[in-house]
Structure 1
Amino acid sequence: MGSVLGVDIGTAAIKIVEIKKTSTLPKLINYGILRSNTHLDRPNSAIQSSALKIAEKETADLLKILIREAGFKAKEAIASIPVFSVFITLLEMPQMPEADVAKAMAFQIKQHIPLPVSEVAIDWLKVGDKETEGGIKQQILLISIPKEIIKRYQNIFKMAGLKLKALEIESLSLARALVGNNQAPVLMVDIGACSTNIAAIDQGFLKLNVFTDIAGSSLTSAIANGLGINVKRAENLKKQKGLKAGAAEYELSTLPLPYLDAIIGEGLRAKNKFEREQEKKIEKIILAGGGANLLGIEEYFAKQTSAPVLVGDSLSALSYSPEIGILKKQLGAELAIAVGLAIK
């Protein structure tokens, strides 16, 4: 069986893993990360942004550079679409035959999608049942992606010389990599450079998904402004010291906290909304993305949320070389979306 590429095109980095499925554990053959730090100086120059913009030629060129420099062999790829580029709605409907669900969804789609039906690709799947006063209702996750976005991704991968097998919402890839077969309700907080994705997963299914533009670059800007230094120096200090700077550098550790508290606040709102609507308790919070590697973030999240918190490890269900194993702690959270795509 051949290998496949999982391609995570984020707001400020492209991450690729090459994974081959075997008779035992999937094998991580290769990985690569290409960072674009232009967003630090110019926020509007991110690879893609909440404005549903992705620079096709520039992104394809970055993909080609990463593929060449890292030496990837596979030509088939599965790519993620960020949550800010899609419309996701959880619907509750009476129990009915599958044929009737399709008819009912034709009506629901017009009510919940803010674009003409002809302009979006639509999919839905049953994600569970819920007991209500009116009886047991089925929960349907409705997902729609603007066709314009799909076309852009197809163009990018064609220009990069890759065969795009499928596109998937990043939250589903994250859940596959970090939650797996765990049936308990969990909250995933994926802290990227320019956006933070927050998703509640229950019985392996996506039940709630929100995002915020407060993210890693917000913490960097707080350090830069507070210390009067340039953002690149602030980014390096953030990575080196995190929230664990010594007593002489106390200010450095406290400057990012208002923005980190804002991310935590969004997470708690999502947690409370899920628990209220689903009448279930979130059992733990899983941190992912490059922001999950911030020194001290796991302990700070746990203190502020009074919930069990762990940094996700997407490599735990893979086999890999000793060289990759040395970087396991750092890569496990950062490569989560790419891994989830490649093991789809």
Structure 2
Amino acid sequence: MAKTRVIGLDIGTTGVRAVEVEFDNGGAAKGAPGRVVRAGFVPLPWGAVHDGEVAEPATVSSAIKRLWAEQKFSSKEVVVGVGNQRVLVRELDMPALPPAQLRAALPFQVEGLIPVAVGDALLDFYPVSTSAGADGQQLHGLLVAATAETVLANTRAVEAAGLRPTMVDLNAFAVARVQTRSGFGTGVVAFVDIGARVTNVSIVVDGHPRFVRILPSGGHDITEALSSTLDIPQQEAEQVKREIGIGLATAPEGLPAKQIIAEVATGLVDAVRNTLVYYASSNPGGAVQQIVLSGGGAFLPGLGQYLASAARVQVVVGEPLSSLPLAKGVDPRSLGADPATYVVPLGLAMGVAA
């Protein structure tokens, strides 16, 4: 039986993660079984990636080279993810054209709809549904517009590491792709991937993305606030954050840290809740029924309960390996502390295998 192998590469604020997934004949689109055959993580120093964009190409390239040397990935072809404030996702209606013609028409359709010059942006369109219009069949979907420099900053670092990007995908789509296959493909679900500096929110209806918002905040904002306010090293601040959490009982000596954590976390929770409220108000009857968390920031103790109370929606942490288990012989320790931090590279690999 023919098999397909794809490698997804996630360049995050705290490090680079890659996953090699093997699918049986048919690929992810046909529901073929898949398994993780290699995975790994190499940390990055703070500042190498800033707000989801490569700021120090040489540092990032060196980390990618180390990751490939350590994990012995079978190919140098990779799918790369992007997702920060310089990537815009909006609803858009387009004429029902063949894919090649549709992409060629995009620059003319979006003129004036995006805050940057069309010539400075990379455009894509994700179709969601079709309908009959006055001028014939219409496609309703999501426009993805990224500043070219944002994408090139990431792909150049990958190429400098000796790899070849075969596809660039939106991180929010990657998260939704793997989580819907992991048992969250029914109803209206919000997938919230909390990184160090960026939080991706994608709202999916019966397995199809309908709305994406990229928030400029994440788990490291809490760490940084603790470090600067309490005048402690960031490593210690990270430990304090994990020990105290949010909304949990705290000893008197921990109350100053508890207040700092609550203030910053509340800002993130409010941003997520407001995103859900906006979507529901724009889509009558489309209130989110469940929130699925992923990313390193999702593991702040008490955050899930706090978000559930604020949004009045059930909150769970996703388990991406329920649909893409580890192949025989793969050491679970290669994934580090929790597989949910690998949801982006897993989803990237699933996209090109679809």
Correspondence 1:302 to 2:308 = yes
2:89 aligned counterpart, secondary structure: strand
Equivalent AA in structure 1 for residue 36 of structure 2 = L
Correspondence 1:217 to 2:236 = no
Q: Deviations over 1:125-149 (max 9, x none)?
A: 3213689xxxx97522112233333
Cα deviation for residue 307 of structure 1 reads 0.8
2:224 aligned counterpart, secondary structure: helix
Checking the alignment, whether the CA contact within 8 Å between 2:196 and 2:296 is kept in structure 1 is yes
Q: Corresponding residue for 2:18?
A: 16
Correspondence 1:287 to 2:293 = yes
CA distance in structure 2 between the partners assigned to 1:102 and 1:162 by the alignment: 26
CA distance in structure 2 between the partners assigned to 1:97 and 1:220 by the alignment: 47
Cα deviation for residue 10 of structure 1 reads 1.3
Checking the alignment, whether the CA contact within 8 Å between 1:76 and 1:162 is kept in structure 2 is yes
Q: Corresponding residue for 1:269?
A: 274
Checking the alignment, whether the CA contact within 8 Å between 1:312 and 1:332 is kept in structure 2 is no
Counterparts of 1:169-248 in structure 2, within 5 Å, are 169-180=170-181, 182-243=185-246, 244=248, 246-247=250-251
Cα deviation for residue 81 of structure 1 reads 0.8
User: Could you say if the C-alpha distance between residues 110 and 241 of structure 1 is closer, same or farther in structure 2, counting changes exceeding 3 Å?
Assistant: same
Q: Corresponding residue for 1:42?
A: none
TM-score if structure 2 supplies the norm length?
0.82
1:112 aligned counterpart, secondary structure: coil
Equivalent AA in structure 1 for residue 224 of structure 2 = S
Q: Corresponding residue for 1:337?
A: 344
User: Could you say if the C-alpha distance between residues 112 and 72 of structure 1 is closer, same or farther in structure 2, counting changes exceeding 3 Å?
Assistant: same
Cα deviation for residue 106 of structure 1 reads 5.1
CA distance in structure 2 between the partners assigned to 1:162 and 1:245 by the alignment: 48
- Say how many residue pairs are matched: 332
2:112 aligned counterpart, secondary structure: helix
User: Could you say if the C-alpha distance between residues 248 and 275 of structure 1 is closer, same or farther in structure 2, counting changes exceeding 3 Å?
Assistant: same
User: Could you say if the C-alpha distance between residues 269 and 92 of structure 1 is closer, same or farther in structure 2, counting changes exceeding 3 Å?
Assistant: farther
Counterparts of 1:152-163 in structure 2, within 5 Å, are 152-163=153-164
Q: Corresponding residue for 1:111?
A: 112
User: Could you say if the C-alpha distance between residues 245 and 255 of structure 1 is closer, same or farther in structure 2, counting changes exceeding 3 Å?
Assistant: farther
Structure 1 gaps, min length 5:
40-44
Equivalent AA in structure 2 for residue 22 of structure 1 = D
CA distance in structure 2 between the partners assigned to 1:92 and 1:300 by the alignment: 37
CA distance in structure 2 between the partners assigned to 1:78 and 1:264 by the alignment: 30
Q: Corresponding residue for 2:8?
A: 6
Cα deviation for residue 62 of structure 1 reads 1.3
Which has the higher mean CA deviation after the structures are superposed, 198-207 or 246-255?
246-255
Counterparts of 1:116-135 in structure 2, within 5 Å, are 116-128=117-129
Identity of aligned residues (%): 23
CA distance in structure 2 between the partners assigned to 1:245 and 1:330 by the alignment: 25
TM-score if structure 1 supplies the norm length?
0.84
Correspondence 1:315 to 2:321 = yes
Checking the alignment, whether the CA contact within 8 Å between 1:313 and 1:329 is kept in structure 2 is no
CA distance in structure 1 between the partners assigned to 2:322 and 2:259 by the alignment: 33
Which has the higher mean CA deviation after the structures are superposed, 168-177 or 242-251?
242-251
User: Could you say if the C-alpha distance between residues 250 and 300 of structure 1 is closer, same or farther in structure 2, counting changes exceeding 3 Å?
Assistant: farther
